[in-house]
Structure 1
Amino acid sequence: PLIVKTDTPRFFDKSTREDEINRVVQKIISEGAQSDILTVVTTVKDTDVVDFATIKGCEKKSKGECAAYLAKAIAEIIFRIKSKLGNEIGGLYISGGDISTAFCEKVKAVGFDVQDEVVPLAIYSKLLGGAFDQTPIITKGGLVGDDTTLITCVDYLRNKISGFSKAL
């Protein structure tokens, strides 16, 4: 898999937000040809977790407002990658209800056609309506699962989209 980590604080500075979104999208597009799993993450290690109170642009906002702003940036990245790669991306895996919500709002999806529960609180479904209608997707609560949940969900998605070349 190709894993691209965001420089999360850059999303909160208006002068660097668009550049960071573009950097992540371009890295996935330019380096993802040889990978069947394209991954955008905000953290790799525990030390990557950011304290919103210390980030320029978040000082006067609530944690909820900062989390929503971050979710919208990630949703924008997913949208741009899927838009550029089209049917090359056979399915999506999104961890975090806030990111799933922001993505659905971005693509104007009206909901999910739930097909299965992969693990407790992680569903396999198809997007309903919007720009990516009927796209297979697994959504999982951000704090749900253990060390094997990501692999379980991605393997499940890959099995469901076996006719496509990539999962995002």
Structure 2
Amino acid sequence: MSLQDLNIRRHILPALRKVDVDQELTGGETVAQALDALMLRLTAVRRLREHHVWEAVRVIADMPDLAAGEWPSRRFRELMAADALVDAVIHLTSATEPKLCLRTLSHEFGLWTCALRYQPPGAGRITFKARHADLAAAILGAFLRSCRGHQLAAAAGRGQLPT
């Protein structure tokens, strides 16, 4: 038995904190639950796989005001077809609203640390960090944290992330 055999959404999600969000995905779960489950799955894997990235795309595509225009782009699909997961995940971070920039990327003691920065109009900025043994997973983890922060701000009625 492996981690892929476990249904994390059924066993772990009830223990996670719940956020009331009206939007539901096709499987009956909310966007908040899907993001929490995906972030939890990322912490349990040794290496990011293509299906993790496509799951993130599926969840983020259902979030209002985050996926703009033709999303995911043709460039993203080309990177995924070429199995360039790091480049594809970096492309995701720059292709959504609000715009994120890669602040720091470091490797210490076998762990990658990624920090993405969001700077809204006016003063202030927010940094989202994630650590993982796999580079692409660390970047995707920080990106999912920023999406979760954006989703929480939208649910609170702010429309943008707090500063």
TM-score, normalization by structure 1? 0.31
Identify which of structures 1 and 2 has the higher relative contact order when contacts are C-alpha pairs closer than 8 Å and 6+ apart. Answer: 1
- Higher strand residue share: 1
TM-score, normalization by structure 2? 0.31
